[in-house]
């Protein structure tokens, strides 16, 4: 026995048949893989010399799921169910041998084996919900039978990976075998089954845990209630819950039919299309056309951060958490101590929630060197500046860094708007200068806009792109322009939100519309949270904007309980009658005749100019591709992932319809709505913005 086809291989190890699957990069269940598995299992089942069968994978992982790139295309190859039926009905025990990650359809295949063994580093899980889906190969029916409906609900609706020790305890895995010795361990396990004549265990036949939950609808009602906020707007969590209800209340085969029905509903909807697109878009963003994959990267063993404020502290934590030592420099001792204290407190809060041990906290803080002297940055491999957003100050800092930091080190700025070329011009090494725009809170938010200056070297770009992955960020390479991709588009939304308030809407109307669209909060609630007085000064305030007027009235936002909204001591917001009056007076003074504004207009006025600006950004080459723009908005600004980002959403509406609306608004409200040439072109040629 040997190669069954290009991806599967069947060998005999004594009386145990070993099927090895090898389909890089992640052994996804493409048509050739399903065909290969079908042929291999058929051969193994029919081979009289084989008394047990082991399924194992080559490469970095066990099967990581269905092949997502096949979704939406017509059927081809053997259905996965046929492979699973062969496995489950095999008269010889079938053992799945797991390393890496057994995910989605991959774990569902493992769940149809009679037994599962894994190495300690392996993880299993059903992450379909993150793709707007549910496990469509029996996972929703088998998982509750093994772990009970309560735990199954958690796993299915979070998509979280499960470590092998937890999997062992909960019966998802039957035995752990020594790291690096999976094949031998699995074969020995299979041999033991045969020797002991152990019965074939079919998960579908397990009844105890589902029966125990029958007639207890409160399990589901309580779960829905407790998670309503987390699931808001998403279709997939509810469909997953319904499947678990079916597992509890229906016989296995009927439950499987319900799973299929709900799976197909999700698969044909726009939410899953958006979420699957984002999965690939995020990986695509890591690829830079003129910076080849094999560009050498520089070792980053030690990082310097200038500024121990909220940003500097958050940025430092990313590196500390990844085990990279950080020297953090502030000008005043008090500010330094405060910043370091906040970092410690953040880690300790995480430890209190059980997500870190106290030893981890100490280890991380032990990697931090606080300093009041820029000279201490001399031997860093990379220095990130996070000082006040002012060009003169930034240039001064970079000139100093240029003199202090060793040659061959990267100098990065955390600027959120400023010209990285101009900052680089303050040094004699512009090739080594790059922008790293983190988002607040910098230790939490996934997005990192990496700003490429005209002279930034390719190995510097490659290094920072790779490094950002190491610290758990989703990097997007952008070009120099005011506000880069994210803030530049945000400015469009903010401008329209402000205008709408004067024309007739109230801040809470706008916030409600954007919240219902799926954002975590609207622009006015956001301003209240950040503080209305950021960048405001009593001395220069001229009552010329609504925001200035509110600051003059000491309405500074959540921090003093009064902003656009009034806040109670628990920070619950209610619309403010005082603000309403201020708005009416302000509009009157400006001679604006207020009118009723529909929710539809609010949404279109806020969102379409963003889509248009995204097209302009692409036209100017400030983002590499439309999908990169979407990744910025998903990972940095809370754009609902099930709407795929502004470019994807623009395509969902239709570029032609967005264009027509922009033209209508341009007529009524002026050139803020002037369509970009690229939007015109895309609409005329019937192309897609997210595929540019």
- Say if CB 433 and CB 402 are below 8 A apart: no
Sign of CA dihedral 136, 137, 140, 143: negative
Rounded Cα–Cα distance for residues 31 and 43 (Å): 18
Rounded Cα–Cα distance for residues 501 and 4 (Å): 68
Strand partners, 55: 19, 96
**Secondary structure class of 450 (helix, strand, coil):** strand
DSSP category for residue 375: G
Q: What is the smallest separation between the CB atom of 515 and ligand 3H9, expressed in angstroms?
A: 28
Question: Of 327, 635, 308, nearest to 473 (Cα)?
Answer: 635
Q: Which is nearer to ligand 3H9, 227 or 284 (CB)?
A: 284
Q: Which is nearer to ligand 3H9, 66 or 514 (CB)?
A: 66
Q: What is the smallest separation between the CB atom of 449 and ligand 3H9, expressed in angstroms?
A: 20
CB count, 10 Å around CB of 111?
27
Q: What is the smallest separation between the CB atom of 64 and ligand 3H9, expressed in angstroms?
A: 4
Q: Which is nearer to ligand 3H9, 284 or 498 (CB)?
A: 284
Q: What is the smallest separation between the CB atom of 31 and ligand 3H9, expressed in angstroms?
A: 12
Q: What is the smallest separation between the CB atom of 447 and ligand 3H9, expressed in angstroms?
A: 17
Q: What is the smallest separation between the CB atom of 655 and ligand 3H9, expressed in angstroms?
A: 26
**Secondary structure class of 54 (helix, strand, coil):** strand
Counting Cβ atoms within 10 Å, is residue 244 exposed (0-12), middle (13-18) or buried (19+)?
buried
Query: Residue 444 has which token pair?
Result: 């939490």
Q: Which is nearer to ligand 3H9, 260 or 657 (CB)?
A: 260
Rounded Cα–Cα distance for residues 515 and 500 (Å): 16
Q: Which is nearer to ligand 3H9, 35 or 415 (CB)?
A: 35
Q: What is the smallest separation between the CB atom of 116 and ligand 3H9, expressed in angstroms?
A: 17
Q: Which is nearer to ligand 3H9, 179 or 362 (CB)?
A: 179
Q: Would residue 128 show up in a list of annotated catalytic residues for this protein?
A: yes
- Phi then psi for residue 3, to 5 deg, are -60, 130
- Say if CB 566 and CB 580 are below 8 A apart: no
**Secondary structure class of 103 (helix, strand, coil):** strand
> Which one of the listed residues 88, 108, 282, 330 is annotated catalytic?
108
- Say if CB 155 and CB 126 are below 8 A apart: yes
DSSP category for residue 433: E
Q: Which is nearer to ligand 3H9, 127 or 339 (CB)?
A: 127
Q: Which is nearer to ligand 3H9, 125 or 148 (CB)?
A: 125
> Which one of the listed residues 128, 258, 496, 601 is annotated catalytic?
128
Q: What is the DSSP string of 5-45?
A: SSSEEEEEETTEEEEEE--TTT--B-HHHHHHHHHHHHHHH
Q: What is the smallest separation between the CB atom of 33 and ligand 3H9, expressed in angstroms?
A: 10
Q: Which residues of this chain interact with ligand 3H9, rule CB under 6 A?
A: 25-26, 28, 61, 64-69, 80, 101, 103-105, 108, 127-128, 131, 133, 135-137, 139, 280, 283
402-413: b (≥16 Cβ within 10 Å) or e: bebbeeebbbbb
Strand partners, 54: 18, 95
Rounded Cα–Cα distance for residues 629 and 691 (Å): 11
Residues 6+ positions from 572 with CB-CB distance below 8 Å: none
Q: Which is nearer to ligand 3H9, 471 or 607 (CB)?
A: 471
Q: What is the smallest separation between the CB atom of 155 and ligand 3H9, expressed in angstroms?
A: 13
Question: Of 101, 36, 108, nearest to 256 (Cα)?
Answer: 108
Q: What is the smallest separation between the CB atom of 603 and ligand 3H9, expressed in angstroms?
A: 31
Question: Of 133, 187, 139, 132, nearest to 162 (Cα)?
Answer: 139
Rounded Cα–Cα distance for residues 616 and 622 (Å): 9
Q: Which is nearer to ligand 3H9, 26 or 248 (CB)?
A: 26
Q: Would residue 179 show up in a list of annotated catalytic residues for this protein?
A: no
Helix axes 626-636, 270-284, angle to 10 degrees: 100
- Say if CB 243 and CB 251 are below 8 A apart: no
- Phi then psi for residue 143, to 5 deg, are -55, -50
Q: Which residues carry out catalysis? A: 108, 128
């Amino acid at each position: 026995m040997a190669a069954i086809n290009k991806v599967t291989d069947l060998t005999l190890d004594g009386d145990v048949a070993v099927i090895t699957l090898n389909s890089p990069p992640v052994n996804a269940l493409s048509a050739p893989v399903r065909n290969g598995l079908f042929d291999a299992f058929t051969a193994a089942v029919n081979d009289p010399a084989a008394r047990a069968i082991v399924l194992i994978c080559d490469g970095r992982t066990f099967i990581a799921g269905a092949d997502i790139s096949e979704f939406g295309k017509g059927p081809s190859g053997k259905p996965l169910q046929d492979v699973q039926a062969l496995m489950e009905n095999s008269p010889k025990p079938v053992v799945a041998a797991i390393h890496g990650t057994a995910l989605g359809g991959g774990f569902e295949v493992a769940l149809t084996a009679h037994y599962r063994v894994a190495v300690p580093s392996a993880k299993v899980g059903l992450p379909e919900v993150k793709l707007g889906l549910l496990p469509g190969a029996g996972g929703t029916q088998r998982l509750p039978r093994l772990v009970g409906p309560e735990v199954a609900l958690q796993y299915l609706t979070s998509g979280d990976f499960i470590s092998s020790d937890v999997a062992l305890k909960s019966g998802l895995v039957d035995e752990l075998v020594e790291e690096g010795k999976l094949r031998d361990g699995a074969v020995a396990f299979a041999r033991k089954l045969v020797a002991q004549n152990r019965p074939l265990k079919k998960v579908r036949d397990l009844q105890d845990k589902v029966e125990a939950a029958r007639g207890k609808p409160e399990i589901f009602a309580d779960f829905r209630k407790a998670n309503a906020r987390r699931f808001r707007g998403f279709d997939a969590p509810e469909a997953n819950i319904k499947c678990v209800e079916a597992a509890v209340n229906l016989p296995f085969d009927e439950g499987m039919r319900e799973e299929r029905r709900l799976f197909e509903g999700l698969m044909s909807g726009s939410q899953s299309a958006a979420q699957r697109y984002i999965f690939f878009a995020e990986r695509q963003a890591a690829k830079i056309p003129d910076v080849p994959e094999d560009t050498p990267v520089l070792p980053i063993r030690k990082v310097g951060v200038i500024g121990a404020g909220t940003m500097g502290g958050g940025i430092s934590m990313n590196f500390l958490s990844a085990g990279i030592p950080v020297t953090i420099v502030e000008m005043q001792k008090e500010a330094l101590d405060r910043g370091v204290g906040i970092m410690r407190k953040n880690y300790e809060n995480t430890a209190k929630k059980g997500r870190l041990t106290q030893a981890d906290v100490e280890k991380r803080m032990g990697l931090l060197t606080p300093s009041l002297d820029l000279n201490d940055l001399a031997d860093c491999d990379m220095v990130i500046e996070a000082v006040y957003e002012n060009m003169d100050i930034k240039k001064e800092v970079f000139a100093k860094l240029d003199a202090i930091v060793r040659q061959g080190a990267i100098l990065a700025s955390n600027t959120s708007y400023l010209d990285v070329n101009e900052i680089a011009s303050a040094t004699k090494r512009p090739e080594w200068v790059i922008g790293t725009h983190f988002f607040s809170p910098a230790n939490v938010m996934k997005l990192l806009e990496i700003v490429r200056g005209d002279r930034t070297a390719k190995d510097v770009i490659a290094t920072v792109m790779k490094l950002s992955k190491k610290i758990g960020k989703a990097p997007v390479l952008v070009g120099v322009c005011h506000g880069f991709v994210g803030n530049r588009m945000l400015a469009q939304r903010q401008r329209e939100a402000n205008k709408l308030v004067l024309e007739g809407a109230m801040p809470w109307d706008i916030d409600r519309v954007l919240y219902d669209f799926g954002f975590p909060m609207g622009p006015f609630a956001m301003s209240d949270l950040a503080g209305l007085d950021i960048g405001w000064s009593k001395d220069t305030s001229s009552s010329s904007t609504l925001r200035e007027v509110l600051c003059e009235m000491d309405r500074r936002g959540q921090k003093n309980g009064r902003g656009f909204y009034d806040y109670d001591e628990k920070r619950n917001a209610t619309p403010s009658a005082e603000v309403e009056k201020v708005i009416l007076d302000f509009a009157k003074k400006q001679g604006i005749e207020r009118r009723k504004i529909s929710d539809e207009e609010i949404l279109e006025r806020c969102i379409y100019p963003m889509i248009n600006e995204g097209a302009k950004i692409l036209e100017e080459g400030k983002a590499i591709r439309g999908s990169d723009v979407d990744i910025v908005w998903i990972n940095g600004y809370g754009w609902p992932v099930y709407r795929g980002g502004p470019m994807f959403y623009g395509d969902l509406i239709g570029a032609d319809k967005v264009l027509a609306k922009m033209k209508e608004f341009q007529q009524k409200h002026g050139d803020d709505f002037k369509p970009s040439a690229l939007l015109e072109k895309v609409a005329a040629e019937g192309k897609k913005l997210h595929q540019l």
